Structures are given as structure tokens and as C-alpha cells.
Amino acid sequence: MQISSRRSKSGSSLIIELLKPERLNALDLEAFVSLNDALERAQLDPKIRFVLLWAPPHLNPKAFCAGGDVRRIFEEFERSKNISYGAEFFHKEYLVDQKVWNFSKPIVALTHGITMGGGIGLIRGAPFRVICESSIWAMPEVSIGLYPDVGSSYFLRQLPSAWAAFMAFTGARVGPSDLLELGLATHYCKQEDLAIIVDQLETLEVSEELNHQSLCQLICEKISPTLRLPPYRGWKENEKWIEKLFGFASGSSLAPQVVASKIWSAAQAAASSKDCPVELREALEMISRASPLSLCLTAEQLQQELSLSEAFSWELQASLNCLKSGDFFEGVRSRLIDKDFQKPNKPQWRFKSPSEIPTPALAALFPKRKTG
């Protein structure tokens, strides 16, 4: 069982648990089908007033969710020699993610440890996003021939532009202080308190007369006694560097290939500078290891101005294009299957740098832009 859902002791909520600790709770197609069914039931049941989503830390204290199970997509492609599984996976994943954004009842997401890619997409639309001292969020999709998806085309644009580009192009790991500062998370607690919050919400009885606003306030009151602010340790100390290197990327009028090439070159130059902080240098070095095609697609993505539904439509087309014309399968093979990324010239991307990519290759990868 990957996903468990049950009514709370009070009967007022549905508790959804991620139960695949041996794979860091990575989500495959079957998991998203189960999540979709659970949310549908909660939506239609008038006695269920809110949803709680978590991964019990005692099963794996290291991770809430490592993202989508892209290894499974690779394995199904190797078996069938077609992309039907991958196409259905992305369709169902984005359906669930968008459902969380549009859900009419409060969703409380309790997270800890590694929360990457699809794990972020699963909970970003929830109004209550609780993190703890072990929380590390990242979107490293460019390193496997993809791009920051799961609604990033919408929610990254809510961040300061330099930060959106920094996270998208480097896949940098972002900790509690920055997550709260950027509004990606809403609440903070100690990891040991997550079970306490679950117990408090498990027995919370909600009358039918209580309106949505009052219910949200009641939820806050139940979790507030356990909340503490973390000590500040984050990327903000490198904000001048981040602004200098990435501030121009979001909403730029430059061609996406030009943006990707400028970031590629600037990151290499900064990473070799003695003045560049060590932790930032390590993040910038990831750009030179990423798929050049993915960097160009990410630059195109950051230029979009899309509504939530438009963002998921754009991403579905982009993800299918990555399966057909991008570096996705090579990236997953190298990074996650064979793990040969420490060897010279691995993985074998189709192109060596963004500037070398011919126009037809970009045309095959980019979703069609809106006209009019």
C-alpha cells in the first residue's frame, strides 16, 4: 500500500498518509490514482470538513516525498518502448495537484525532510503547509532532462524573479528559513511535534454550522501551540549574488536560448570566482551538469504569464515534449538508474550547451505560445 486514507476519530476530517518509505514516498501513477480518489471522496462527503496529508516520520524520518517516481516512468518505457505510461502519469499528477489548489475544503499538509519536485506540487496548493527543522525543498528537474513542473509555471512567478530563476535553474536545496520567508511554507514546527499536530486534528470535531473562515481559524488554533520559529540559516545571505546572476531571467524579453546561454556562462564564471561563497558555487556548478535543452525550456517557462489552469496545460504539453524530444530518459538513466554522473561527459545530453541547440530542436520541445 502506497497511500492510505481514513476518516479521523472525530469523523470531521480525512487523513491521507504516504506509505512508501523505502522509496522516500516517491509517487507513481497508482499513487496519484489513489490520491485523486481520496480527494474526490472527501470533496463529496459533507461530514468531512478538512483533509490532513502527511507521511509518518517514524517510517522514514528523512523524507516527506522525493517527488514523482520517474524511475518507474523509465522502467515502463524500457518495457513497452512507448511513452503511454509517462503521458498518463503526468496527466494524473497534474490533475491531483490542480485539485489541491482548487479544493473547497481546507487541506493541512504536514511535511518533513526531503520534499522535492512532485512532493512540492502535491502540497503547494494547500492553504496550510507545515515544515520542520529537517525540511529541504528542491526542484532539481533540469538535472534529469525535465524542468520545474507540477504548477511551478504558476507559483514560481509569485516569488521574487531572481529567486524563481535561482531555484529553477540550479535545483538548489532550500531550507526552513527561506521557505517561510518566500511564502512557500506557512507554518513551522519541530519534527517531533508532527505527530502531536496529527493527534490534535484527529480529534477535532467541526460542527456543520462552522463556516470556512472560522474552520481555518480553528485549525490554526489547534496547531499554533506547537509552532516555533527556526533560526535563520538560508540562501538570503547570498541574495546579492542571486540577484546579479538570475534577476534578469524571469519575464525577460530575450529569447529563451539567449537567457539560458547567459546563465550558463555567468554561472560558470561565478563558480570559478574566489569571491563566490562555497555553498553558492556548488549550486551554480549544477547548471553546467544540467540538460541544456532543459535549461532552455526552463527559460521559456519563466517568460510565461499563465493562470493556474493555463500553467498546468502548458506543463502537460511541455512534459510530453520532454518524453518525445528532450533528454528525459537519458537523464533518469544516468542520474537515478546507473548513477554515472560523476564520470566524464555523463549523462550524454543531446547538446553540449544551450548555444549549440538548433532552432528545430527547441521548436519540438517548447509548447506553443498563446497568440492574441
- Among the candidates 226, 252, 285, a domain finishes at 226
Q: Residue 232: inside a domain, yes or no?
A: no
Asked whether residue 178 is domain-assigned, the answer is no
User: Containing domain of residue 310, as a range?
Assistant: 238-365
- Give residue-wise pLDDT tens across range 332-371: 999 999 887 666 557 899 999 999 999 999 999 999 876 5
Instruction: Please tell me whether residues 211 and 252 are part of one structural domain.
Output: no
Residue 76: inside a domain: yes
Q: Looking at the domain assignment, is residue 170 inside a domain?
A: no
142-190 pLDDT, tens digit per residue, is 999 999 999 999 999 999 999 999 999 999 999 999 999 999 999 999 9
What would the pLDDT profile of 301-310 be if each residue is shown by its tens digit?
999 999 999 9
Going by pLDDT thresholds of 50, 70 and 90, the confidence category of residue 200 is very high
Q: How many domains does the chain have?
A: 2
pLDDT of res. 294: 98
Both 318 and 195 in a single domain?
A: no
Q: Do 205 and 276 fall within a single domain?
A: no
The answer for 322, left when phi > 0, alpha when psi is -120 to 50, beta otherwise, is: alpha
Question: Looking at the domain assignment, is residue 327 inside a domain?
Answer: yes
- The verdict on 222 and 256 lying in the same domain is no
Same domain, 243 and 221: no
Same-domain pairing of 34 and 101: yes
Is 218 among the domain residues? yes
CATH number for the domain including 20?
3.90.226.10
Assess whether 276 and 219 both reside in one domain. Answer: no
Q: Whole-angstrom Cα distance, residue 90 to residue 121?
A: 12
